[in-house]
Amino acid sequence: MTHPMEVVDLASGSDSISSQGQQDDGAQLEVYNFDLSKYKDGSYKLITAVDPMVHLSGRFLKHFENATRKTKVNSVQFDWPHSGFSIHVKHTRSVGIRLKGEGNYFNVFVDGQFTCILRAAIKASCYDVAQFDDDAEHTITISKRTEPQMRGAVSTFKVCTFYGFIVDKAAIVLPYVSPYTHRIEFIGDSDTCGFGNEGAGSSSKGIFGMKGRVENVYNGYACITARMFNAEAHVLAWSGKGVKSNLGEWGPNMSSMWKHAIASRDFPWDMDAWQPEAVVINLGAQDLFPPASSEAEIVEAYTALLEDVRLHRPEAHIFCVVCDENCMSGEEDHVNRSRISLQLQEITRVAMSKVKKMDLRMHYAFIKIPGGLEPRDFANMRHYSVSGHVKFAEALAKEIAFRTEWPVAAPPTTMPYPQAKNQILAPSDKHCVIS
C-alpha cells in the first residue's frame, strides 16, 4: 500500500564536499552536497544513478566517480522527453529520489500505476515518491513529461540531473526485468513531444506559449503507440525543430541533434547502445514556417537524415509520417493546412525515392483519420489534445502493424488528466513537508 508523498530539501543542511570529494570529517559522499547521515533519521542508503541495478530508459549522459566536475559525481544528466529511471526493490518502507531540473515535470508510477506528478526544482532536492506498509517487492518508475529546453537564455525547461534512489538501509535492490516486447524510436517536433496536450484549447496564433505542467509525452501519440505494441519508446523530439530549418530559426535542427545524448548539448550518444526495431520520423512541417526553407533544401536535408538513420539503424523499419490536411496540428487555416500537407507529401516521397533503392523496410506512412479531427481533439495553440493523440496513435499503429506484422498488444491507453495544480509534488507545495 502506498501513502502520500513529500519533498525534503537537504541542499542547505548538508556539508559541502572538498576538492578531494570528501566531507570535512573525512566521510566519503556518494554524490555532491548530500550527506545521507543527515537525511531524516539517517537510516537510509543511496542507490546512485549510475548503479547497474538502476534501470535507465532513454538517453542519459553518465558521470562516474572520476567525473571532472565534482558536482556531477555518480549522477546522470538528461533532457529528452520520456527519459525515465526505475528501481525494483523489497524490504523498504519508503523510496525517495534526489533530482534537479528547473521547469521540468515527471510522472511517478508505483508498480505500474500512476501515483502523481512531480515538479523538479532549480536545485537538487529529495522527493519521497512512495511509502509502503509491507516489505514486498515494488517497482518505482519516474519518467519525464516535458521536452528539452525551449529557448536558450530564457529556457523554460533546464537539463535535468538525477543522483539516485534513497531506500531503507535494510532494502534489497532486485534486478529490473524489462516488460517490453519491442523497441520503437520516435524522431519529431512538437506533435511528438505532446506539446500542450493537457491544456485548454487555444489559437495557433497565441503568443503566451505553454505551461510545462500541461505537456505530457506519456499521453502523446508516440508513447500511446508504443504501449499498443508493448514497446519501449525512445522519444527524440523538440518543439519547433525541422530537418533543415526550425520555426523561428533558433538553434540546431533535428537532423543534427538526433544523435545527441542530451538534446541541448553536443555530447554524442552511443548509437549502438540501444537498437530499435522501428523508427518513426514525423518532421518537416516546421521547415515550411518562416523562415521557410525551399522544397529542394528540405528534400536534400530529409534525404540526408534518412541515410543517416539507415546507417545507424540498419535493420529497423523506418516510417516517414505525413498527415492528411484534416489531421494536421498547429494551423487553423484550412488552405494553409492543405498546402502544407501536399508539400510534405511531395517532399517525403522524393526524399524516400532518393535513398530507398529497394529498401523494403522504409515506409511512407500517410496518416488519415476518418472524418478528420474534431475541435475537442485540439488543445494548446491548436496542437493535439490527448483525444487527438489517441486518434493519431490508432492510425499510426495500423501502419506499423501492417508493415511489421506485429500484433497490436493493447488498445490505446492514457493516464488521468488534467491533474490539479495543488496535487503536483513540488518543493513549494504547501502539502509537502520541507526541512
pLDDT tens column, 249-267: 678 999 999 999 999 899 9
Q: 234 near 270, Cβ under 8 Å?
A: no
pTM over 0.85: yes
Could you tell me the pLDDT band of residue 245, with boundaries at 50, 70 and 90? Answer: confident
d(CA 27, CA 18): 11
Cα–Cα distances in angstroms (integers) from residue 39 to residues 12, 152, 258, in the given order: 12, 35, 39
Q: 286 near 246, Cβ under 8 Å?
A: yes
Question: Is the fold of 6-178 the same as that of 182-404?
Answer: no
Could you tell me the pLDDT band of residue 1, with boundaries at 50, 70 and 90? Answer: low
The percentage of the chain sitting over the pLDDT mark of 90, rounded to a whole number, equals 72
- For residue 422, what pLDDT is reported? 80
Q: 233 near 33, Cβ under 8 Å?
A: no
Closest CA to 112 of 81, 82, 145, 88: 88
Candidate from 345-354, 363-372, 421-430 with smallest mean pLDDT = 421-430
Q: Is the pLDDT of residue 432 over 50?
A: no
- For residue 204, what pLDDT is reported? 65
- For residue 206, what pLDDT is reported? 60
47 φ, ψ (degrees, to nearest 5):
-100, 105
How crowded is the C-beta side of 165, counted as CA atoms within 13 Å?
A: 29
- For residue 431, what pLDDT is reported? 33
Q: Is the pLDDT of residue 390 over 50?
A: yes
Fold of 6-178: Jelly Rolls (2.60.120)
Q: Where are the beta strands (DSSP E) in 209-249?
A: 231-237
Interval 23-82: pLDDT, tens: 333 345 788 889 888 888 889 999 999 999 999 999 999 999 999 999 999 999 999 999
Per-residue cell: 333: 487555416
Interval 296-330: pLDDT, tens: 999 999 999 999 999 999 999 999 999 999 998 98
Domain range summary for the chain, segments of one domain joined by +: 6-178, 182-404
- For residue 366, what pLDDT is reported? 98
- For residue 177, what pLDDT is reported? 95
Query: Higher model confidence: residue 154 or residue 221?
Result: 221
Q: 240 near 246, Cβ under 8 Å?
A: yes
Residue 14 contacts by C-beta under 8 Å, 6 or more apart in sequence? 33, 34, 35, 38
343 φ, ψ (degrees, to nearest 5):
-60, -45
Buried b (16+ CB within 10 A) or exposed e, 322-337: bbbbebbbbbeeeebb
Per-residue cell: 81: 522527453
Cα–Cα distances in angstroms (integers) from residue 416 to residues 142, 371, 386, 424, in the given order: 16, 26, 10, 13
Mean of pLDDT over the chain: 88
CATH number 3.90.180.10 is the correct assignment for the domain at 182-404 = no
3-state secondary structure of 309: helix
